[in-house]
Chains A and B, each alone.
Chain A
């Protein structure tokens, strides 16, 4: 639980310290990404229950989690921590997912893969997600197995080509 709270406080405070990203290291990452250090996933989501479920699942899968609860936090955390991949909820109060994706695509860490999470009912939103710059989308409720598989796919896609290494 401390880890979750740490991540949450990370997301809600304006001053983010880089060291906190590390989160809980699990002994054996079960993902297929060949990186020596475990990949960092930025989860942008405002629903507390989804945050807890997705974050503890991915953490147990061996990822490091960064949490943001709205578009502004997402842009800031992406700049500061250059995650390996972003999971972006589309419907959020304040700045929504579309806008956040557009901003990120114009930022210095613009090539990070972004997976949009959209509600099933919002069929039209999918094309909008891709138009805004998302690489892929998953409809809610997200199956966690499908989620990890998609994450792994995009991480292996992007291996070597991510600008995370450049800085």
Chain B
């Protein structure tokens, strides 16, 4: 049974004994103070759910104690029942004016005492419930505000660039087709169309990334126990495909231990795909892209190391004719190394890639670290949780 904390304040200990005999100890934990000042000073210790307060006391009387407690912001919600020998209307009015929630006239009867105490406890519970609810709401609002600010930042900084690059490319190609159609030969038309199609595909991919990012940012996914996948198979498969697509199968170095991860198959694929897309995109041909996976200290560590600069110089080519349209915007503080890569990405049209990786890793309480040796090497290091036990190597 729930135990309610009841503070009895009465200068006569015998009166406490009466109340003690009337309230069963399995339901109520009784505390006692013989003086008003003591009662006020000990509220922190007793943490009462209700107070039974004698009116007639020497020094500080019950009315005064009641007034003082009701003036305390943190304590005013504690229901106070005044116990009084006086039953004149004026006396009762004085109690209510002092802020008392209820009163009981002496001699105290058990039935009345329990009924009034319980009704006050009900009030207190309702109050507590409302307060915890409003606390919860405030927390949710703060959380939403943070997510919103983050999304706003990403949208301001990253997304317009992504859209612009692809859209301008599509528009540019179509305009050329429209204005010079008569002068162009078949090959040139095909080339312009294929450029436009490539850009449309990039736009499509950017849009899907944005959706993925928004999903992750708005509703942080809760990891589920059922989320399991085999690291080695997925990482090798995706890394090899990315290397082939980049036309650099020989540049890939794979050294991944196998482990069963507490990560959903789908998210690991997104994550690895973004990391390798990034690595191949921003490193020169005929330089290595190394993918290393190791079990250390009960976590899976994944490193993707490329020989790219981490700066935007070498990806300007990829962003085509339109790279000049993008100004170097100042942005919110991101560590220098991470900043350059994310910015570089943005110019290339895949600015959300690393942010998605980061979000996914964070949703599993993992580490996300980007480090660069200036114009020489970039390493992304992440950790992911293992499924209960370590599986075969």
Contacts and interface: CB of A to CB of B under 8 A. Distances in A.
A145 B32 contact: no
A123 to B, nearest CB: 17
B187 interface: no
Contacts of A52: 31-33, 38, 42, 45-46
B35 A56 contact: yes
Interface stretch (B13-21, B146-154, B224-232, B369-377): B13-21
Nearest to B28: A141
A14 interface: no
A112 B31 CA distance: 28
Contacts of B25: 141, 143
A56 B11 contact: no
A1 B38 contact: yes
A53 interface: yes
A57 B29 CA distance: 15
9 contacts: A1-B37, A48-B45, A49-B42, A57-B34, A59-B34, A60-B11, A143-B25, A144-B13, A145-B21
Contacts of A130: none
Contacts of A143: 20, 25
Interface string B226-264: 000000000000000000000000000000000000000
Interface in B1-45: 11-14, 16-17, 20-21, 25, 29-35, 37-38, 41-42, 45
Contact of A1 (B12, B30, B41): B41
A141 B42 CA distance: 19
Question: How big is chain B's contact interface, by range?
Answer: 20 to 34
Contacts of B33: 52-53, 56
Contacts of B17: 144-145
Given A53-B33, A144-B16, 14 more contacts: A1-B37, A1-B42, A30-B13, A30-B14, A49-B31, A49-B42, A49-B46, A53-B30, A53-B32, A56-B32, A56-B38, A59-B34, A60-B13, A143-B20
Chain A at the B interface: mostly helix, strand, loop or mixed?
helix
Interface residues of A, number: 16
A10 to B, nearest CB: 17
A144 B29 CA distance: 12
Contact of A144 (B32, B35, B42, B45): B32
A92 interface: no
A31 B33 CA distance: 19
A123 B79 CA distance: 36
Contacts, number: 54
B56 to A, nearest CB: 15
Nearest to A59: B34
Contacts of B34: 56-57, 59-60
A4 interface: yes
A88 B42 CA distance: 22
A144 B32 CA distance: 10
Given A52-B31, A143-B25, A57 B46 contact: no
Contact of B45 (A49, A57, A59, A141): A49
Contacts of A48: 45
Nearest to B47: A49
Contacts of B32: 52-53, 56-57, 144
Contacts of A60: 11-13, 34
Interface string A44-68: 0000110011001101110000000
**Sorted from nearest, which 5 A-B pairs have the closest CB atoms?**
A60-B34, A145-B17, A60-B13, A1-B41, A53-B32
B46 A145 contact: no
B19 to A, nearest CB: 10
B16 A57 contact: yes
Interface string A122-161: 0000000000000000000101110000000000000000
A144 B37 CA distance: 21
Nearest to B3: A141
Nearest to A5: B41
A144 B11 CA distance: 15
Contacts of B29: 141
Nearest to B31: A53
Interface in B172-228: none
A57 B30 CA distance: 12
